[in-house]
Amino acid sequence: DTEVTQTPKHLVMGMTNKKSLKCEQHMGHRAMYWYKQKAKKPPELMFVYSYEKLSINESVPSRFSPECPNSSLLNLHLHALQPEDSALYLCASSQDVGFREQYFGPGTRLTVT
């Protein structure tokens, strides 16, 4: 099974709301990733977790706060977002952060009003 699941599929939030995106994998992978994709653009890396520790933060604003509670789960906490943060948020996982195949979830389509 090479499935990565993400919830919710769609999210609409106001600029003062706090919400969370969830990602789960049961492949025994020890690396998990958040990517952001704007319309008509390729995905861009936001964060990498390796063995439940944050290993890469691509200078993401602090209104995005990642969390890796265990090796199967990855959350992205959202607070005080801006309309320009509206995008498709993709989670991925791989065996580890070496040169490994990454598998992506279906994404959460976020709209900030």
Partner 1 sequence: GIQVEQSPPDLILQEGANSTLRCNFSDSVNNLQWFHQNPWGQLINLFYIPSGTKQNGRLSATTVATERYSLLYISSSQTTDSGVYFCAGNYNQGGKLIFGQGTELSVKP
Give the H or E element holding residue 37.
strand 31-37
CA gap 79, 65 in Å, rounded:
8
Binds partner 1 by CB under 8 A, chosen from 17, 37, 71, 86? 37
Stretch that binds partner 1, among 13-21, 36-44, 59-67, 78-86 (CB under 8 A): 36-44
User: Distance (Å, rounded) from C-alpha 36 to C-alpha 42?
Assistant: 9
Residues that bind partner 1 (CB under 8 A): 2, 31, 33, 35, 37, 41-45, 48, 50, 55-56, 58, 88, 90, 92, 94, 97-104, 106-107, 109
